[in-house]
Amino acid sequence: MWNNEKWFSVFMFFIGLAGFYGSIRLPVAERFTLGPGAMPLIYSSGVVICAILIWVLAPSRKDASFKNVLGRPGRYGLIFLILNFVLGFIVYMVGFAIGLILFCFLALFFTKGWRPYRALLFSVAWSLAIYILFTIFLDVPFLKGAIFEK
């Protein structure tokens, strides 16, 4: 019996396969460090493993219905899915740091019900911590976006 969890696991399995396809086209190792294809490969394998686990462990009590997707838990999942597509577009337009601030703010505001100033403060703090960790300590530059490139 197909329920929403099984449909979700099939969708995530194909997302993981797309990640595999994209990551094998990039070098996995460069000199003495990981290449640009290493982390997408690791994340894609995690997504595929989680999709298989969801497929195996999903209870077959409820039938699949669009009403369940629009219910309370499904609504949050749809918001995150839409926000991920928006994040992908925003990152290429304004850069990763600003895109991450907008993604965190919208996710906290719409799914958790945080007040706007609290969500914005946490989003800026989170993005600043990610920026310091990757750009300053690990020397991994963030994508600047089409608007800020020269």
First to last CA, the chain: 54
Q: pLDDT of 34-73, one tens digit each?
A: 777 788 888 999 999 989 988 888 776 666 566 666 666 6
CB atoms within 10 A of CB 26: 14
Look at residue 60 in the predicted model and tell me its pLDDT.
Answer: 65
Q: Domain ranges in the chain? A: 1-62, 70-150
Total-model pTM: 0.56
Q: What's the pLDDT at 17? A: 92
Q: Which helix (H) or strand (E) covers residue 34, if one does?
A: strand 33-34
What backbone torsions phi and psi does residue 95 show, to the nearest 5 degrees? 105, 165
d(CA 54, CA 100): 28
